[in-house]
């Protein structure tokens, strides 16, 4: 658990000063938070693997459609080609 000396070191590193009453309150809250984290680590989540079955949590594009007016848009917008990508000047 977090002790007073460690808290003082944290205060020094983060450039935050807590008075004595706040230090005790902070230590009690941190003790509770650490206990909750320990309880979370002890949970058995092995049954959830089959339930979730997420192969790729990131959205992927299955098909790309060619936009028919892309040359018209680029002719009307200030842009440049950078590393094989189009960089468009901000509108704001």
| Model pTM score | 0.44
How high is the pLDDT of residue 32?
92
79 bridge partner residues: 88
Question: Which stretches of the chain drop beneath a pLDDT of 70?
Answer: 49-65, 91-92
Domain ranges of the chain: 4-42
**41-64 per-position pLDDT tens digit:** 888 877 776 666 666 666 666 666
The answer to whether 68 and 39 are in contact (CB under 8 A) is no
């Amino acid at each position: 658990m977090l002790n007073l000396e460690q808290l003082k070191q944290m205060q020094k590193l983060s450039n935050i000063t807590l008075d004595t009453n706040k230090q005790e309150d902070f230590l009690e809250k941190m003790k509770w938070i650490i206990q909750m984290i320990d309880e979370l680590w002890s949970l058995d989540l092995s049954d959830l693997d089959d339930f979730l079955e997420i192969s790729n949590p990131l959205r992927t594009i299955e098909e790309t459609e060619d936009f028919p007016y892309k040359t018209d848009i680029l002719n009307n917008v200030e842009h440049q080609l950078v590393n094989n990508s189009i960089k468009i000047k901000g509108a704001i």
